[in-house]
Structure 1
Amino acid sequence: MTNTEGAIFDDGAVEKQAIDHAETASVFEEDEREARRVLRKIDFRLLPLLIGLYTLTFLDRVNIGNAAVWNLKSDLHLVGYDYNIIVLVFYIPYILFEIPSNMVIDRVQPRYWVSFLAFAWGMSVTFSGFAKNMGGLLTARILLGLFEAGIFPGLLFLIGSWYRREELLTRMSLFMVSNDIAGVLSGLLGAGFGSLDGTGGYSGWSWIFFIEGAMTVAAAVLAFFLLPPFPEESTFLTPEEKAWYLRRLKRDDNNREGEQEKMQFCGMLRSLRDWKVLTAGVLYLSVCVTAYSLSVFQPVVLTSFGWSSLKSNLLTAPVRAVSGIISVCTGFWSDKIKKRGIFCLVGYLISIMGLLFVMLFHNGNLRYMGFYFASIGIYICQPLVIGWCVNQVLGHTKRGTVTAFAVSCGQVGGIISALVFPASNSPQYVPGISTCIGFQGLGILAVLNMWWWCRWENRQREAGKRDHLRSLSAEEQEKLGELHPDFRYML
């Protein structure tokens, strides 16, 4: 909507404005090339920076796995479960502050909040390189979890506000390929920075933290100047482009007027009673137990094959490169045919097969092949389950809640993964891998539940069994969100 609407004008000015808007709408809606140009403009303005930020987020979160093979444990005298506890503590503040952070980003321009968080977590990573004992590294990891908590759900919230439902998963997949970019870079940078071992009197693990933390601080400065706001406050589109694009979003979302309302605590609690929001938490938890296990413990498991620290770090990179490419291709395919559930099921099954390879075989090459299947399957699922659940809800508050709640549950998966891979279970890690398979089985049940119920509800609406809601006033119908009889759930 434009700022001139609702102001006091003479009748001629109001009529001229209505004609101008109608002409603008026809230009974009009749010329597909012009519409695609605006969409590309938004993509290029939004996605590269978000991908870069989340790549650094994930890189700084999992570089503890690379540091572990460059003298971290011996320098800090870590024994038994000490390393697992250091991995675990990150997730506690992360879980606690995700939903509150989305309430902040809804009230403060995203560039201010995100750049602050990025600067603070970058400094936390940098100074963790100076740790002299377990307590120092624990403190740094707690601060890292606190400041990173708002980044992932906040950026997902921002993406979900900019795109229509059938366009969302492609963008989610491109955004979440950051995990794979970080996985590739983590192995390569871990090998490169770790090889500075002894330079300046610091071990290789310290150099990993020093340099990767400094990269994040630099990215925080870019975010302050370049990160766009929500669509309603955007300035990089021309007034005509913005007016058309907001109308386009409103047609996709019969609650778009409510998008300008800020997240409230009571609304958030109401959203948490919705079974779709709760299912989002189960789905993302089932993904993250395996995703975090692969990210943090894969280098450690590879060294149990008898491979060197350098080789183990380097061989994590091609696994993530392949899984990232397949994840993005799957996202395009899913948006094209407007289906989600079938891809989730296939992803879980492929990942389970790969994990069985890693757990049951003893040959290092076969087990390494298993990591490919496990990663491909789980990183197909990761953007799918978030995108699918965002597709099933309408309204600013519910979208903000579903992204934050799902990601919070996902971090519980990080805690679980940190506890079930003790060094004493090397080299097969049967308890840890069995745990991952069990949670993926739970994910399959959640997918089947979401698909069946949404299919049933769509059929009820097509049969006219929800048409009694049309008798409500226009204002009450706007508040129905996804309960509106015109809304169809994504299958």
Structure 2
Amino acid sequence: MAQIEPQAIDEKTIGTSEGQPTLDDGLKETGSIEPRIDPAKERILLAKLDLMFTPVIMLVYLSCFLDRSNIGNVKVAGMPEDIGASNQQFSTAVSIFYATYVVFETPFAILLKKLTPRVLLSSLCIVWSLTTIFSGFIQNVGGLYTSRLVLGACEAGLFPALTLYLTTVYKRDELAKRVAYLFSCTALSGAFGGLLAYALLQMDGVAGYAGWRWVYIIEGIFSVVIAVAVWFGLPTNPAEAWFLSAEQKGIMRIRQEQTAQYMGSDELDWEEIRIAFKDPKVYLSAVIQFCQDILLYGFSTFLPAILKSAGYNSLQSNYLTVPVYMFGAIVFIAAAVASDRLRLRSPFILLANVFGIVGYIVLLTVPSNNGVRYFATFLCAVAVYNGPGLNVTWINVNVAPHYRRATSIGVQQTIANTAGIVAGQIYRTSPYKLGHSFSLGALCLAQVMVVVKMFYIRWWNTRKEKIARGEIEDTRKYKTGDRELDFKYHL
């Protein structure tokens, strides 16, 4: 069944005035009246969903990325020296996080519906929060390695689960904006993390603990609080959320009917999982995401160190990250809104990456001008957040039904997040020329792969149109979900 767009109010429109069919009346009818939604009421519903769901989703991802990336803040505060870690050992600690991260992503994505978002996300959040707190008490490299492995295992399920949860709430052409809210938290965590680290480092010596230890302890406590918000804030069925009125719950049920093709059955279907593993666009997406994630993880983890190598002191290198991260988040949200309205994904990725390419070239070729190098980080931030965020949206809106999509996003993220291992190894020593060069090369490769995937998607759309018109033979091996003739892929 194709997705039904909201239509003008008429005698079949739901919830418009007295004497017309009610929501329940509309839902009970099977043939003569097709329930439609008053666009004004739908806009109010979306605003309420954004108001209630978005802060919870943003906060949990903010706390996750904060706990993951604060290792960059504590590095410039003397943590490696205190625990006796060499540069190589510290780089290994950054990379080892992704060893467990990539292993658990696909299983957690597939199990989301079975375990429910509330149980899965709350449990993982509690465990990684306690691990972050305990990280404030590590005394040696072994303790650092252990904490990073546990963090990786717990945080593996978060991003796939949150993006999949968004697909149960919003339609395809509403998704990029909401993924932008989620993904901008990687930028906001950098900004907030820089400010928080700057403040917490002033606690150096309090109760006999170094400032970097307080960074871990306080940020871990913050994450425990977020776990409680997740438990109460993310209902298993968004259509039955406690904050919706009876009329709005009815509208949500109609929206679920309209997106039935996209969502599919709630029952675990191994055939859908097998189809996802054979889908070329999943692997094209994974390669693009791998390239973009090299930037994301290298930039978000090592930006304080990059700024310190540019001549700023430890405290400056933390608080100067804030404008960079905020700029990246704002540009990403603006691009995502435009992407949804136009139902285009690839052109925005290509354009954002151009800014990143220029930024990394400046970082490599202007070694002595601190102001210019600082400006270059703003250019890099455009690609760092737009690229991976819009690419995740691109795969989410182009794969259906749910278990095929869950597997696809899990596989994409599993392959892509090995970039975290790479990022930890290429950003070793100042002035980080290897890291910047590798990031530049990854961006150029991403551009090529985006174009390849764009032509592949366009070929499929054209092929479906020709099959529907009877111009070519229908040789599709799979004819359900996103392979149905009326399912149009977003470019």
Superposition TM-score, scaled by structure 2 size: 0.89
User: Which secondary structure does the structure 2 equivalent of 1:260 belong to?
Assistant: coil
Give deviations 1:73-128, integer Å, cap 9, x for gaps: 11011123011011111111000001111233220221111111000000000001
Letter in 2 for 1:376: V
Choose the corresponding residue for 1:268, options 273, 284, 302.
273
Give deviations 1:135-194, integer Å, cap 9, x for gaps: 111111111111111111111111122211111111111111111110110111111111
The answer to whether residue 457 in structure 2 is matched with residue 454 in structure 1 is yes
Choose the corresponding residue for 1:444, options 447, 454, 459.
447
Distance in 2 (alpha carbons) for counterparts of 1:275 and 1:170: 26
Quote how far apart the aligned CAs of 1:45 are: 2.5
Which moved further from structure 2: 36-45 or 324-333? 36-45
The answer to whether residue 389 in structure 2 is matched with residue 386 in structure 1 is no
Tell whether the 8 Å contact from 2:466 to 2:472 is kept in structure 1 after alignment: no
Give deviations 1:378-405, integer Å, cap 9, x for gaps: 2122221000111111101111112222
Distance in 1 (alpha carbons) for counterparts of 2:110 and 2:178: 23
Choose the corresponding residue for 1:342, options 339, 347, 366.
347
User: Which secondary structure does the structure 2 equivalent of 1:70 belong to?
Assistant: coil
The answer to whether residue 382 in structure 2 is matched with residue 376 in structure 1 is yes
Letter in 1 for 2:82: D
Quote how far apart the aligned CAs of 1:369 are: 0.8
How many residue pairs get aligned? The number is 469
Superposition TM-score, scaled by structure 1 size: 0.89
Give deviations 1:270-299, integer Å, cap 9, x for gaps: 311101111221121111101111111111
Letter in 1 for 2:379: F
| Alignment partner, residue 411 of structure 2 | 405
| Alignment partner, residue 12 of structure 1 | none
User: Which secondary structure does the structure 1 equivalent of 2:87 belong to?
Assistant: coil
Closer/same/farther in 2, CA of residues 17 and 369 from structure 1, 3 Å limit: closer
Distance in 1 (alpha carbons) for counterparts of 2:97 and 2:302: 15
Which moved further from structure 2: 27-36 or 168-177? 27-36
Tell whether the 8 Å contact from 1:460 to 1:466 is kept in structure 2 after alignment: no
Please list every run of 5 or more consecutive structure 1 residues that lacks an aligned counterpart in the other structure: 1-14
Quote how far apart the aligned CAs of 1:27 are: 11
| Alignment partner, residue 10 of structure 2 | none
Tell whether the 8 Å contact from 2:240 to 2:249 is kept in structure 1 after alignment: no
Quote how far apart the aligned CAs of 1:253 are: 4.9
| Alignment partner, residue 178 of structure 1 | 185
| Alignment partner, residue 112 of structure 1 | 119
Closer/same/farther in 2, CA of residues 268 and 460 from structure 1, 3 Å limit: closer
Distance in 1 (alpha carbons) for counterparts of 2:66 and 2:132: 10
| Alignment partner, residue 148 of structure 1 | 155
| Alignment partner, residue 321 of structure 1 | 326
Distance in 2 (alpha carbons) for counterparts of 1:16 and 1:70: 62
Quote how far apart the aligned CAs of 1:230 are: 4.0
Letter in 2 for 1:379: Y
Distance in 2 (alpha carbons) for counterparts of 1:334 and 1:16: 34
Tell whether the 8 Å contact from 1:469 to 1:484 is kept in structure 2 after alignment: no
RMSD across aligned positions (CA): 2.7
| Alignment partner, residue 73 of structure 1 | 80
The answer to whether residue 482 in structure 2 is matched with residue 482 in structure 1 is yes
Letter in 2 for 1:489: Y
Tell whether the 8 Å contact from 1:347 to 1:376 is kept in structure 2 after alignment: yes
Quote how far apart the aligned CAs of 1:460 are: 2.6
Letter in 2 for 1:361: V
Letter in 2 for 1:396: H
The answer to whether residue 109 in structure 2 is matched with residue 102 in structure 1 is yes
Distance in 2 (alpha carbons) for counterparts of 1:471 and 1:248: 31
Quote how far apart the aligned CAs of 1:23 are: 8.7
Choose the corresponding residue for 1:300, options 300, 305, 320.
305
The answer to whether residue 217 in structure 2 is matched with residue 214 in structure 1 is no
User: Which secondary structure does the structure 2 equivalent of 1:306 belong to?
Assistant: coil
Tell whether the 8 Å contact from 2:35 to 2:254 is kept in structure 1 after alignment: no
Quote how far apart the aligned CAs of 1:248 are: 2.7
Which moved further from structure 2: 294-303 or 204-213? 294-303
Quote how far apart the aligned CAs of 1:346 are: 0.6
Closer/same/farther in 2, CA of residues 255 and 421 from structure 1, 3 Å limit: closer
User: Which secondary structure does the structure 2 equivalent of 1:74 belong to?
Assistant: helix
Give deviations 1:407-462, integer Å, cap 9, x for gaps: 22232111100001112xx22x2221111111112211221112112222222333
User: Which secondary structure does the structure 1 equivalent of 2:455 belong to?
Assistant: helix
